[in-house]
Amino acid sequence: MSAVANDPQGDATDAPIQEPERKKRQYKDFGHDDEKATHVKVDMSTIELKAEDLYDKEKVDLETIVIDDVFKLLQCTAEGLNHEEAQRRLELFGPNKLESEEQNPFLQFLSFMWNPLSWVMEAAALVAIVLSNGQAKPPDWPDFVGIVLFLSINSAIGFYEERNAGNAVKALMDSLAPKAKVRRDGQWSEIESSILVPGDMVSFKIGDIVPADCRLTEAINVSIDQAALTGESLPQSKKTGDQCFSGSTCKQGEAEGVVISTGPNTFFGRAASLVGQDDDTTGHLQKILAQIGSFCLVTIGVFVIAEIIVLYAGFRYRYRDGLDNILVLLIGGIPIAMPTVLSVTLAVGAQQLAKYKAIVTRITAIEELAGVTILCSDKTGTLTTNKLTIDRNTIQTYGPFSAEDVILLSAYASRVENQDAIDTSVVQALGDTARARAGIKLLDFKPFNPVDKRTEITYREESTGKLKRVTKGMTAIIIELCTRNKTEELEERLEKDVEDFAIRGLRALAVAYEELDGDDHEAEGNGFELIGLLAIFDPPRGDTKQTIDDALALGVRVKMVTGDQLAIAKETGRRLGLGDHMYPAKVLKDGPAPGSKFNNLDEMIVDADGFAGVFPEHKYEIVKRLQGLGHLCAMTGDGANDAPALSRANVGIAVEGATDAARGAADIVLTEPGLSTIVHAIRQSRIIFQRMRNYSIYACAVTIRIVVCFAILSFVYKFNFPPFMILIIALLNDGTIMTLSVDRVLPSLTPDSWDLVEIFSYAFAYGIYLTASTIALVCIIIETNFFQDKFGVSLDTAPPISHNDPKLHMIVYLQVAIISQALIFVTRSHGFFFMERPSTALKGAFCFAQFISSIIAAYGDMGFTKIKAISGGWIGIVWIWNIIWFIPLDWVKFGMKATVIKAIRKRRERIAQEVAATGVPLTRTQSRAASIHESLYSNRVSFIKRAARKVGFGGKISAKPEELHRFSSIQAQRVGQTLARNPSRIGGTAPV
């Protein structure tokens, strides 16, 4: 809701008007402060401004300087530009539209193979197809095809997701007016708005979209709706000299103005330039994947180097045999399917959120939503309904009339057709809108106008036949009309009531009444008497308070960030239980006041319940600073003014009814009114997060298990395991793990975070334990005859058993496949694995995969893999062996919790206490800031651009369709240089 109690029947942005002959009292009708026109802070007689200076407010503020200076500075007149000068300026300033970069689909697809995990698998593919071609052996085609298939699936999923992302640039461009009425060569004509230039004279009327930022040179009862740009809920009255923003809508009247800025230099364009400007960085989940990938790479790298040294230098392995061992570590150790598994998990989560009427446009935002600690919300249209309402609880009466009588009489004095926002709220307060004309005969109606600042109705009461008159409007105007009951006491009371309303951010609407003698409805009445004062406000949505309470219960703080005024924001905060500890936007520039309890601006932002009077840049800055302090931030909004912050936030949420610009910049779009869906989304995202965490522990554990296990076997027994069987294990594992996307898990009650130290600690413990299970089995088979003697089983080689017996390879394959998959039941549970029931899909997939593994073990005679089928006896031995080793896995988990994990958490708490004592903020890597771990991911955009130049694709390439760049600074620099070289003289003015 916008300004309050300033202009109750008209617009809210006008400064308080000095009513005629108001001598006694100054009623604090709540509104914006007057902003007096200024002059250019340079000598206009010698000025030689460059184009970039036009938008440097330290030198010139085209929005506030006097109109005469605007014409001088822009070298134009009220007759408009001529065609030649307009064409010249179009070439210099560029078109009046926002630009976006095109992208090459093929390079975009390839970009998803540009990350460390993929690099290792690509290296493995090269090893299989190129380096393995030696010693009279063909290339390793099975491994090569399997690896390429893995990479292609992963890239295809990522490519599909990104190609379907929302295009914020297009949405913002669509909001601009396609046509504009402009005066050129002294004649009015209609042209494409994209060819407007600074200095053009434009005209618009009711229903038109303002085509560019302009200063009005003529305004006739003009009212502009700029809620989507500034967050103010009511149309704003505009007068000569005022500024109108590009993209706003004319709701009333007609106007002429001079264009002061176009395209990316408009208020609208500056907001657009902030959307997605951090285009060379990655999201939160990608950073986590990078860190997990780094862990796996380091683990694999250490053991690959060790194998090269031991096998080639120590054991004198032949070239091809050594490569097979290295391929085992590369294929088995890299969790190449991790991005795919997590993508499927997130995609399923997005489908589940759709049931709650939430459309996810960037699925990785689901993971970030689970960790959100602060929810920043726009007010108008988000926390509130953006519909003015009469606050019945605060109606003041001053005569024999009741509150209901005051509402009824004020409804009489309202339009019932072609209503403005005030009339609508008053009439709807009746409940039955038909009562606004029931029982009366309308004789005369005077609608609101900016001069009188009130409406008036004269009517005949049908029941009595008496003539009566009612007026409503601005407090100071109405009280001057009241001659019948105006006393010093009444004025003091009215002044106090209006001031109380203003302090609470409520708009005051005064109502007066008089009777007429005779039948002449144009005659003077017996004198108006003040009968009531109505409070009008933008009410909170019905479910907003409960939503905020639920969010707080989930450990998420809510902050209001609104373009409305401070008093309105505080009142809304009090009504929602959000708190009224709020600040005006100027503190974001000035910082905390001297002597305040805050040492710096960051402390103030964290402590505040909200900020008022903010512009898009302020919202963006608030979110950015909170992220810099280690918070994951969500931002809700509905207007183009919210788009920059929605784009910057970890999770941007566009509410129901949001503009195309807001929806394009957001990660989640709500299709039902209210914010209750956000709470459902937070809970669902935490469920999804738990699934991803469970898989991450599992994937890291399997990496350690494969790498350490087969490296030790090769060092001790020169064990040459076939790489293709590792690929089969990976395929079966990943197929089973996909079902984690629908697994049953419980959401946490606090924001989630990726504690990678804990994840790696668990993974190390599980991996080493499973390694021991395999090595112990191999040692017993090779070093003893225990199984052969007890169970009557045999291998291809008689004792002493060959260390590379084909059946021994199959036994190891089966043992690794079964117990590795079984590990997921331990990692997914917090207690004993059998106490938390898995989903039917997970159980079914596990049973199916183990059935396939057992079938392969029983019948898989594949010569090129160096394995042979084993008997049912061996299969039974492996199953029993794995069950025996699986049971203690829960105790490994409990032991880790009681020792290592407990110590890690205590150390973290101790550090947090030390930080709190010193007052130095402990920061985490923020969402859009690159670090060494994800730098190899985050430069994907740069890689594509370089590749485009090298392979000759050319053109403009970008990785994300919603990315925008700061064209304004580029344009200003180029225009300044060009204009300096090519000065124009119009009417003897200085060059711009």
pLDDT in tens, 895-906: 999 999 999 888
Closest CA to 924 of 110, 287, 159, 349: 287
pLDDT at 565: 79
Q: CB neighbours of 499 closer than 8 A, spacing ≥ 6?
A: 27, 28
Confidence tier at 688 by pLDDT (50, 70, 90):
confident
Task: Find out whether 766 and 701 touch, Cβ atoms under 8 Å.
Answer: yes
CA gap 992, 989 in Å, rounded: 9
Closest CA to 848 of 817, 877, 889: 817
- In order of 212, 486, 496, 653, the CA distances from 161 in angstroms are 35, 69, 59, 18
Query: 238-243: long-range contacts (C-beta < 8 A, 24 or more apart)?
Result: 238/11, 239/14, 239/450, 240/67, 240/216, 241/37, 241/66, 241/67, 241/215, 241/216, 242/215, 242/216, 243/63, 243/213, 243/214, 243/215, 243/216
CA gap 439, 477 in Å, rounded: 28
Q: Indicate if the pLDDT at residue 926 is higher than 70.
A: no
Across 130-139, 184-193, 701-710, 935-944, least confident range: 935-944
pLDDT at 712: 95
Domains of the chain: 51-97+182-272 (2.70.150.10), 109-163+285-347+683-902 (1.20.1110.10), 358-385+541-671 (3.40.50.1000), 389-537 (3.40.1110.10)
Mind spelling out the 3-state secondary structure of 245-304? CCCCEEEEEEEEEEEEECHHHCHHHHHHHHCCCCCCCCCHHHHHHHHHHHHHHHHHHHHH
**And the tokens for 263?**
């395209």
Task: Find out whether 765 and 826 touch, Cβ atoms under 8 Å.
Answer: no
Q: Greater confidence, 99 or 276?
A: 99
Q: CB neighbours of 352 closer than 8 A, spacing ≥ 6?
A: 684
Q: Indicate if the pLDDT at residue 544 is higher than 70.
A: yes
Residue type, position 969, single letter: S
Task: Find out whether 827 and 760 touch, Cβ atoms under 8 Å.
Answer: no
pLDDT at 459: 92
pLDDT at 178: 64
Task: Find out whether 223 and 235 touch, Cβ atoms under 8 Å.
Answer: yes
pLDDT at 160: 66
Across 40-49, 105-114, 531-540, least confident range: 40-49
Alpha-helix runs per DSSP H in 828-871: 840-859
Task: Find out whether 336 and 121 touch, Cβ atoms under 8 Å.
Answer: yes
Task: Find out whether 67 and 215 touch, Cβ atoms under 8 Å.
Answer: yes
- In order of 86, 493, 824, 973, the CA distances from 93 in angstroms are 10, 57, 61, 10
pLDDT at 557: 92
CA gap 555, 168 in Å, rounded: 31
pLDDT at 159: 67
Q: CB neighbours of 871 closer than 8 A, spacing ≥ 6?
A: 793, 794
Q: Whole-number mean pLDDT of the chain? A: 77
Q: How many CB atoms lie within 10 A of CB 108?
A: 21
To the query of whether residue 378 is one of the catalytic residues in this protein, the response is: yes
CA gap 515, 459 in Å, rounded: 10
**β partners of residue 540:** 384
Q: Indicate if the pLDDT at residue 238 is higher than 60.
A: yes
pLDDT at 5: 37
Phi, psi of 359 (to 5 degrees): -95, 125
Highest averaged pLDDT of the listed ranges 300-309, 357-366, 941-950:
300-309
Q: Taking residues 485-509, report their average pLDDT.
A: 85
Confidence tier at 67 by pLDDT (50, 70, 90):
confident
Q: Taking residues 911-935, report their average pLDDT.
A: 48
pLDDT at 283: 53
What pTM does this model have? 0.67
The distance in angstroms from the start CA to the end CA of the chain is 39
Q: Indicate if the pLDDT at residue 167 is higher than 60.
A: no
Q: Taking residues 115-120, report their average pLDDT.
A: 73
Highest averaged pLDDT of the listed ranges 486-495, 656-665, 670-679, 766-775:
766-775
Q: Indicate if the pLDDT at residue 942 is higher than 70.
A: no
CA gap 836, 168 in Å, rounded: 43
Q: Indicate if the pLDDT at residue 423 is higher than 80.
A: yes
pLDDT at 985: 36
pLDDT at 990: 33
Q: Greater confidence, 863 or 319?
A: 319
Across 812-821, 878-887, 943-952, least confident range: 943-952
DSSP per-residue codes, 438-454: TTEEEEEEE---TTT-E
Q: Taking residues 638-647, report their average pLDDT.
A: 78
Phi, psi of 889 (to 5 degrees): -60, -35
Q: Greater confidence, 170 or 644?
A: 644
Q: Please return the burial class of 813, using the count of CB atoms within 10 Å of its CB with bins 0-12, 13-18 and 19+.
A: buried
Helices 723-737 and 141-163 pack at an angle, to 10 degrees, of 30
Q: Taking residues 518-531, report their average pLDDT.
A: 86
What count of Cα atoms within 13 Å lies in the side-chain half-sphere of residue 586?
3
Residue type, position 662, single letter: A
Q: Greater confidence, 519 or 309?
A: 309
Q: Indicate if the pLDDT at residue 570 is higher than 80.
A: yes
Across 523-537, 733-747, 924-938, least confident range: 924-938
pLDDT at 475: 87
Task: Find out whether 330 and 300 touch, Cβ atoms under 8 Å.
Answer: yes
The dihedral region occupied by 595, where left means phi > 0, alpha psi between -120 and 50, and beta the remainder, is: left
Highest averaged pLDDT of the listed ranges 237-251, 536-550, 631-645, 701-715:
701-715
pLDDT at 132: 63
SS3 (DSSP) at 314: helix
Task: Find out whether 617 and 644 touch, Cβ atoms under 8 Å.
Answer: yes
Confidence tier at 154 by pLDDT (50, 70, 90):
low
DSSP 742: G
pLDDT in tens, 282-295: 456 667 777 888 88
Whats the size of the chain, residue-wise?
992
Task: Find out whether 493 and 445 touch, Cβ atoms under 8 Å.
Answer: no
pLDDT at 941: 36
% of the chain surpassing 70 pLDDT = 77
Q: Which of 213, 378, 564, 743 is catalytic?
A: 378
Q: Indicate if the pLDDT at residue 953 is higher than 50.
A: no
